[in-house]
Amino acid sequence: MTLDFGRVAVLLGGNSAEREVSLRSGTAVLNALLRQGIDAVALDPKHDDITQLQKMGFDRAFIVLHGRGGEDGSIQGFLTTLQIPFTGSDILSSAIAMDKSKTKQIWQSYQLPTANYQIVIKDDFDPAQSEDILTSLSGCVMVKPVNEGSSIGMAKVSNPAELADALHDAFKFDNKVLLESWITGKEYTVSILNGQALPAIRMHTENQFYDYQAKYHSTETQYFCPCGLAPEKLSELNQLAIKAFNAIGCSGWGRVDFMLDEQGSWFLLEVNTVPGMTETSLVPKAAKQAGYDFDQLVLEILKQTL
């Protein structure tokens, strides 16, 4: 393995709001590589001087940085400049996927299904607009900072006071916030590996939605894989996941999230170019159902750098 891959930098941690999740993901990836005899070293851009990657003799990088600095094209651009191969999507697709509003606009141009939405800019927002915004989006909305992941800063609101408060909180994470019409239904996710859809997962939580607490702390969240869809509906979901992933120009590996409403219609939520790799993360669950154990999954992702 050392002969094939050389020295591998596992980039983890960073400075984003998702730092703690990234540390857990990165440690899991590092241990998987070490178990397979690969010369892997963890580097945290918050503390380590990654400008010295070439001088330190690294041949490739496994990116496990979630959020800004890891999924927004920044580290991809840096590694491209150093001519160091890296896992996952390229600069442009990473940057687009990180911006939920740009992602939705591209999906709309491909006529792919996504919920009605509105973008609110921090400096332009007047709380007096809250009622009109809610009315235009069917009275109930999901509030999402445009450039955050792991459901950070998200909230479900259904009256003007709640909307104003939720925007106030979301603006702490981002100056641009996405408001989406609330979709009542079931939440699914499809992991992508080497251009193929892995088995879909349905998530169920007693929380209002699949939030940070449900993802990383709850012992009550349920994951169904196989997801229980009829074969034709599952095929529809997988095809839509591949189209959505490719529309943004993503490559290597990632994850596309969906809602299935009560009328049986799919709605795209977002695409993740560096999904979680913790013990509770979705991509490893899907990969396990497809026959990959965690170490094999990590190796398949690293092979994309060869």
**Residue numbers annotated as active site:** 18, 150, 216, 255, 257, 270, 272, 276
Residues sharing a CB contact under 8 Å with residue 186, sequence separation 6 or more, in sequence order: 202, 204, 259, 260
Contact 187, 258 (CB under 8 A): yes
DSSP string, 214-265: HHHT-S--EEESS----HHHHHHHHHHHHHHHHHTT--SEEEEEEEEETTS-
Contact 14, 65 (CB under 8 A): yes
Q: Residue by residue, what is the 3-state secondary structure of 110-176?
A: CCCCECCEEEEEHHHCCHHHHHHHHHHCCCCEEEEECCCCCCCCCEEECCHHHHHHHHHHHCCCCCE
Q: Which helix (H) or strand (E) holds 203?
A: strand 201-204
Q: Tell me the residue type at 157.
A: V
Neighbouring C-alpha atoms within 13 Å toward the C-beta of 104: 19
Distances (CA, A) of 192 to 41, 131, 200, 254, 274: 26, 39, 10, 5, 11
Contact 189, 297 (CB under 8 A): no
Distances (CA, A) of 266 to 98, 112, 187: 21, 9, 10
Contact 51, 89 (CB under 8 A): no
Q: Two tokens at 16?
A: 């984003």
- Cα(238)–Cα(64) distance, integer angstroms: 25
- Cα(227)–Cα(237) distance, integer angstroms: 11
